[in-house]
Structure formats: structure tokens, C-alpha cells
Amino acid sequence: MSITAPLSCQSIISFNSLKDEPNPRVFLEQFPTSPVYMVPSTKDTDPFAEAEKVTVMFQNKNVCVLVPGVTFDIHGTRHGRGGGWYDRFLSRLPRSWLKIGVTTPEHLSHAPLKREVWDEPMSLLALIHQDTLTLQSVRKKL
């Protein structure tokens, strides 16, 4: 199921894509007037301190958080690179902020992925194929 209603992203937290990750540029182009904060791309950055910093910066805003991953499933489960940085970062953000998994159709699993207790599920998925963006709602796990 795709989302056709516009998102309200007053501010966006994004990432610098690695060579094997989709570029979030296609998503960011949909919100040309929204301020964008880029999460540092170094593992040395403390995810808890970074979460605290952006929470203060964007308090009382509708925030969309773009999240990279290796694989996502249709239930919003995300598997990353195994270090847990994004799970720790996301765990400290306000629950009202939209967590949007950025992926390609090839990295979207229709079979459920194993979700650990520390895994932070996505609110939406942004599927990027070439220069096309499709927002997909996540299905509740049964």
C-alpha cells in the first residue's frame, strides 16, 4: 500500500549514504523548504548524545527521520550493519517523530525479518527506484 497523503516534515534528519545505500536526495527534494540535519557518518559519534542534540534542536516540530539499512521488511523491521548505532539513536528520539526507512525494492523483504527487543521499527518505508520515490506504510506484525 502506498501513501498518497502529503507528509508534514517541518524538519528532516537524514544521512550521508554509503556507496551501497540509496541516496535520500529523492526524498529530500520533496521538501525543499524543510531544514535538513545530516547525522554524522562516523562511528565515533555517540548516538545518545546525537539524539539529545537533535531533540533539543527540533523540539515541538514535526520531524521525519530518514534511516538507512541493509534490509527492511514490510512490517518496518530494519536490519543494519550490525553495530546498533541507529537503534540506540532512534531509541532516544521522541515517539511522535516519523522514522522512515530508506531502501530500494530489491532490499525490501515481504517475509518477516527477526526483530530483536532493541530493534527500533520504522513508521514508514521510502522505496527509491532510480529517481522515483514511493512511500509505503508498514503492516502491523501479528
What are the tens digits of pLDDT across the range 113-123? 999 898 899 99
Tell me the C-alpha to C-alpha distance, in Å, between residue 72 and each of 46, 80, 84, 105.
24, 9, 15, 10
Residue 142 predicted with pLDDT over 50: yes
How high is the mean pLDDT of the chain? 87
Greatest Cα pair distance in the chain: 38
Q: Which long-range contacts (CB under 8 A, 24 or more apart) does 38-47 make?
A: 38/14, 39/13, 39/14, 39/15, 39/89, 41/15, 41/16, 43/83, 43/85, 47/85, 47/86, 47/88, 47/89, 47/92
pLDDT of amino acid 108: 93
Q: pTM higher than 0.95, yes or no?
A: no
122 versus 139: which is more confidently predicted? 122
User: How far apart, in whole angstroms, are the C-alpha atoms of residue 138 and residue 15?
Assistant: 21
Q: How many CB atoms lie within 10 A of CB 115?
A: 16
Quote the cell numbers at residue 111: 517475509
82 versus 122: which is more confidently predicted? 122
Cα 23 → chain centroid: 12
Cα 109 → chain centroid: 16
Residue 138 predicted with pLDDT over 70: yes
- Name the band, by pLDDT with cuts 50, 70 and 90, for residue 55: very high
pLDDT of amino acid 4: 43
Give the pLDDT confidence of 1-30 residue by residue, as tens digits.
344 445 788 999 999 888 888 888 888 888
Residue 56 predicted with pLDDT over 80: yes
